[in-house]
Amino acid sequence: MVAILRKAALRPRLLIALLGAAWRFRSRAWWRRPPFLPLPPRKYIDWRMHTAYGDEGRSPSAGEIERYVRWANRMHRTRHHGIRRP
């Protein structure tokens, strides 16, 4: 986690992309349940790690997170705005 934050500190666009991805992963109605933070459900994260790596305990590398976030934001822009950028 620290490695991706270091990368984001050097690349403001990556930070914006990370924030956008984090917002899309948030629990719905997060403000109704403690800890009142827009965090994704633990079960969902476990499922994502299991489907990606075959192990709920595995954590992606900073490079994998960066590639995923950039891809996800491209797909989001394309789907919602019809914008295609390399």
10-64 pLDDT, tens digit per residue, is: 988 899 989 988 888 898 899 998 989 998 899 999 999 999 999 998 889 999 9
Structure token pair of residue 13: 């666009």
- pLDDT at res. 20: 87
How far apart CA 47 and CA 55 sit, in angstroms, is 9
User: How many Cβ atoms are within 10 Å of 39's Cβ, its own excluded?
Assistant: 14
Helices 2-10, 12-25: crossing angle, 10 deg rounding: 130
What pLDDT sits at residue 86? Answer: 55
In the structure encoding, which two tokens stand for residue 75, read together? 């797909």
Domains of the chain by residue range = 2-81
Overall average pLDDT of the 3-9 stretch: 88
CA distance 62 to 30: 26
Phi, psi of 24 (to 5 degrees): -70, -25
